[in-house]
Amino acid sequence: MSDYIKDCIKYDISGSVIEGFPEVFERRNVLYVPRREGGLDKDFGLFDETGRQIFGNALFSSYPPVLKTQALTTQKNGETASYQGRPVVYGGCIGDHYGHFITECLNTLWYFSKECSPETLVLFHSDMTVEEIFSRPWMVDLLRYAGVRKEQIIIPRVPLRFDSITVPGQAFSEDGFVYTGYAEYLKALSLKAVQESSFDFKGMVYLSRVSPLYNSRLPCNEEDLCAELSGRGVKVVRPEDLSVADQIKIFNENIVIGPIGSAFHTSIFAEAPKGIAICPEERPIARSYELMGAAHDAEIRYVYSEDKVDPSTLAEVLVNAAGSSAYWKTIIEKLGLGFLERKNRGNIFFVGHENILLSRDAKEAGDYDVLVATVGNKSFIFANHSSLPPFFIEKELIETRVISYLKFDEENGIGFRNPVNGKWLKALPPEFKKNLHCDAEHVNDWELFRLKPVDYPDFSGCLAIAPCLENALQRFEGSDCQ
């Protein structure tokens, strides 16, 4: 099914990823010119004492780079301007767009956050007023994480000349280059943000962008895709409904799937983000995404999908693709994994067509291993195959893909105990051909189990079950009850 998606063409970004932070320039007699009233002209920017434009902080895009919003001009020497005598730091551009705020403001604001005092003034270029900026909760949060207070902000509406101004170099330029310090800086901001987040899910998360625009970027109806993903244990969220803190935490602690867009710029806040971005096949992705990924340990795949794909098929492909490397790497780092064995003889196998668990001396055709994952004294038992139906153990209340037990390590084996009723899990000798059952008041030595360790298993079809396991871990953390 991997034929339904294919990796996007990768760019050559050699030489575009630069170690550390950019240079910082102390400039004298700098003129700042805002846009004219209405904001339609491109004749704005920072100019030196000779009237020449300071291009180090102009906005560029594309590769090779071209000026994005500013015009090349050297006609500013005679501009009438007021004077600002206090030292000021240039903080970049603020626009009413989440992704561009990250790439066009935080790319310059890094120096202010690292080096400046709470009393330092910061000059922003923006068509928005300070009041408009502080009416956007996400802008308020990002500025707060960066340490910028409302009273420190200068947004001139007339030309303003500065006796001196600190102009930090851009740590990121759209489609152009990235400094590794940019990712380091935003990771430091994320440490503040995640402390405020109430998002407590860990697993796979889908970033839904239900709208005519974003539906046109997907190979199937997104509402149907969301329903299919939810059925596979994927948490579906809308970034617009989340706080900045929640969005940052999602990329820090989950595998993220979704249509490509500004929501994926949040990945730059995470130390090692993981996920899959679905891209429209008719056009190449922006070079900026690869630059962001190269600035830290990102494992985000950008993929095209065939058009008119069945939502169920696409959901299965995405979950498997997201889990094939990064997901199980994360799981294995957290869990002790092993296949369930009887202590004295015979392994325990899941028999799919009979929907039961048996203990047997030899594996038979159609059998699948039973996998146990342990966290501390808690164990989670599930069948190692995604296509199998929910299994059951006698005396349990429900059929399930994941059953939780308290694990007790005895000298001669391992026992599993239901945390609700206190009964013990037992496996009958194989000749009885009976289910595993959980109704014993105690277990004898020969009724205990062993775990055959798993270092890095090939789970083939088990990945769709993995989100259920992650849900179970979330549910049981800090609790001894189901």
Residues 402-460: tens digit of each pLDDT: 566 777 777 778 888 877 778 888 877 766 767 777 888 888 887 788 888 766 554 44
Residue 2's pLDDT is what? 56
Position with higher pLDDT, 38 vs 162: 162
* Residues 183-216 pLDDT 10s: 999 999 999 999 999 999 988 999 997 654 445 5
Q: Please give the pLDDT value at position 412.
A: 73
Give the list of residues 6+ apart from residue 207 with CB closer than 8 angstroms, or none: 237, 238, 239, 250, 256, 257, 258, 259, 263, 264
> Which range (80-89, 172-181, 331-340) has the least confidence?
331-340
Tokens of 37: 């009233």
Is residue 300 within 8 A of residue 8, CB to CB? The reply is no
Q: By the 8 A CB rule, do 466 and 328 touch?
A: yes
| Predicted confidence band of residue 109 (pLDDT cuts 50, 70, 90) | very high
pLDDT at 247 over 60: yes
For residue 394, the 8-state DSSP code is B
Of the candidate ranges 55-64, 74-83, 293-302, 401-410, the one whose mean pLDDT is the lowest: 74-83
Residue range(s) of every CATH 2.80.10.50 domain in the chain: 336-476
User: Of all residues in the chain, what percent carry a pLDDT higher than 70?
Assistant: 75
Average pLDDT of span 158-183: 95
Using the predicted structure, report yes or no on whether residue 74 has a pLDDT greater than 70: no
What does the pLDDT look like over 364-385, one tens digit per residue? 656 777 777 776 667 777 776 6
**pLDDT score for 479:** 40
**Rounded mean pLDDT of 167-194?**
96
Q: What is the pLDDT, as a whole number, of residue 40?
A: 52
Quote the pLDDT of residue 212. Answer: 46
Q: Stretch 136-164: mean pLDDT, rounded?
A: 94
Q: Helices in 149-221 by DSSP H: which ranges?
A: 180-194, 212-215
Share of the chain above pLDDT 90, in %: 41
pLDDT for 10-65, tens place per residue?
888 999 999 999 999 999 989 998 876 655 557 788 998 888 888 888 889 988 88
**pLDDT above 90 (res 180):** yes
DSSP 420: T
Lowest average pLDDT, out of 241-250, 296-305, 426-435, 455-464, goes to 455-464
At residue 482, the pLDDT reads: 34
* Least confident window among 170-179, 290-299, 325-334: 325-334
Comparing 139-153, 329-343, 368-382, the range with the smallest average pLDDT is: 329-343
Average pLDDT, the chain: 81
**pLDDT at residue 287 in the model:** 95
DSSP, collapsed to helix, strand or coil, labels residue 325 as helix
CA distances from 98 to 144, 240, 276 (A): 15, 10, 20
The answer to whether the CB of 186 falls within 8 A of the CB of 268 is yes
Token output for 453 = 């360790």
Per-residue pLDDT reduced to its tens digit, 251-263: 999 999 999 999 9
CATH topology of domain 2-12+192-330: Rossmann fold (3.40.50)
Domain 336-476 is in which class? mainly beta
Name the most confidently modeled range: 165-169, 335-339, 353-357, 477-481: 165-169
Q: Where in the chain is the domain with CATH 3.40.50.2300?
A: 2-12+192-330
Which of 245-249, 340-344, 409-413, 471-475 has the largest mean confidence? Answer: 245-249
